[in-house]
Structure 1
Amino acid sequence: MEKVMRLCSGKGVVIFSNSSCCMCYTVKILFNELGVEPLVYMIDQFPEGREMEMALLRMGCSSAVPAVFINGKLIGSTNEVMSLHLSGSLVQMLKPYQI
C-alpha cells in the first residue's frame, strides 16, 4: 500500500491501469477528452504488480484497475468515476489539472 501511495502523492491525476483492460482505456480516454493528461501506471509491467492490485483492493477499489487518484485521494474505479462524471462533479474536481 505504501508504494501505491508514494506513486500518487504529490501528483494531480493518477490512474493505475493494466495494458489489457478495456475499462482502463475508457477511463483514460474520458480524462483526455476532459482536457486532463493523467499519469498512468501500468501495474502489469511492475514486478510487484500483483501486490499493488491487492493493495488497491484493500484501499477500497471495487476492482483493482482502473484505480483513479486525484490529488493523492482515491476516487475509485470505473463505476465511481462515471458516477462523478454523470453528476457533473468530476469536471469540477479536474479543473486544476486541465491543460
Structure 2
Amino acid sequence: MERVTDLASKKAAVIFTKSSCCMCHSIKQLFYELGASPAIHELDQYADGREMEYALRGLQGRNPSVPAVFIGGKYVGSAKDIISLHVDGSLKQKLIDARAIWF
C-alpha cells in the first residue's frame, strides 16, 4: 500500500489501470477530454503490479481493483464513482481544486 500511496501523491491526478481494461481506457479518455494529464500507472507493466492491485482492492473493498483514481492524493473511486462525479458536474471542479486542470 505504501507504493500506491507514494505514486498517488506525486501528481494532481493519478489513475491506476491495466492495459487490457476497457473501463480504464474510458476513464483515461474522460480525463484527457477534461484537459487533465493524469499520471497513468499500468499495473500489468510493473513487476510488483499484482501486489499494488491487491492493495487497491483492499482500499476499494470490492472487485475490480482498476481503474482506481486519485485526485489531489486522495482516493476518489473506481470507474462507477468517476462517471457519477462527471454526470453530476463535480469531477471537473475536483480536478480544478487539485490543480490538475486550470481555467
2:15 alignment counterpart: 15
Q: 1:98 aligns with which of 70, 78, 101?
A: 101
Inter-CA distance 61–16: structure 2 relative to 1 (3 Å threshold): farther
1: CA distance, partners of 2:29 / 2:45: 20
2:51 matched to 1:51?
Answer: yes
Q: How does 1:42-81 map to 2 (within 5 A)?
A: 42-60=42-60, 62=62, 63-81=64-82
Inter-CA distance 13–41: structure 2 relative to 1 (3 Å threshold): same
2: CA distance, partners of 1:61 / 1:68: 14
| Contact persistence 1:27–1:78 (CA under 8 A) | yes
2: CA distance, partners of 1:46 / 1:97: 24
- TM-score, normalising length from structure 2? 0.91
Give me the identity figure in percent: 49
Equivalenced residue count is 99
1: CA distance, partners of 2:75 / 2:36: 17
1:34 alignment counterpart: 34
1: CA distance, partners of 2:20 / 2:36: 22
Dislocated runs of 4+, deviation >3 Å: none
- TM-score, normalising length from structure 1? 0.94
| Cα distance, 1:46 vs structure 2 | 0.6
| Cα distance, 1:9 vs structure 2 | 1.2
RMSD of aligned residue pairs (Cα, Å): 1.2
| Cα distance, 1:10 vs structure 2 | 3.5
| Contact persistence 2:57–2:65 (CA under 8 A) | yes
1:84 alignment counterpart: 85
